[in-house]
């Protein structure tokens, strides 16, 4: 597991994918602290790592990276940690467009 506080290259992301699932890397984004945790088998492991590091659960969202893909196909908004009826999110996706845009902007800032 790794918490990205600066940037991560797409080559590093591709290597992580190869070492784990082959074509994807699981990640959890802290939209408040602007951090991304990557490289674990479960989103919940990444979530726990960020919580231990001081993140708040309501700011954490699970996504998947597909490093060989481009554009909209690079990020997939799909994780069990996203199911939060108390925050109005009843699916594994990220239903709030404002949060989705924050995630996309943060990914553009951290993944180069």
For 46-58, give one letter per residue: b (16+ CB within 10 A) or e.
bbbbbeeeebeee
Over residues 47-77, the pLDDT tens digits come to: 999 999 999 999 999 999 999 999 999 999 9
How far is the C-alpha of 24 from the C-alpha of 39, rounded, in Å?
10
- pLDDT above 70 as % of the chain: 100
Over residues 2-14, the pLDDT tens digits come to: 999 999 999 999 9
Specify whether the CB–CB gap between 21 and 58 falls below 8 A.
Answer: no
* Lateral strand order in the sheet of 25-30: 2-4, 35-38, 25-30, 60-65, 75-76
Q: What is the pLDDT of residue 77?
A: 98
Q: What is the pLDDT of residue 3?
A: 97
Specify whether the CB–CB gap between 33 and 3 falls below 8 A.
Answer: no
By C-alpha distance, which of 72, 71, 78 is closest to 25? 78
Q: Which residue has the tokens 């597909």?
A: 66
């Amino acid at each position: 597991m790794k918490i990205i506080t600066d940037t991560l290259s797409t080559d590093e992301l591709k290597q992580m994918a190869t070492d784990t699932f082959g074509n994807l890397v699981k990640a959890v984004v802290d939209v408040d602290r602007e951090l991304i945790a990557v490289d674990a088998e479960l989103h919940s492991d990444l979530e726990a790592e960020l919580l231990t590091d001081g993140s708040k659960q309501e700011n954490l969202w699970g996504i998947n990276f597909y490093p060989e893909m481009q554009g909209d196909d690079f990020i997939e908004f799909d994780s069990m940690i996203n199911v939060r009826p108390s925050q109005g999110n009843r699916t594994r996706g990220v239903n709030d467009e404002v949060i989705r845009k924050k995630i996309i902007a943060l990914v553009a800032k951290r993944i180069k």
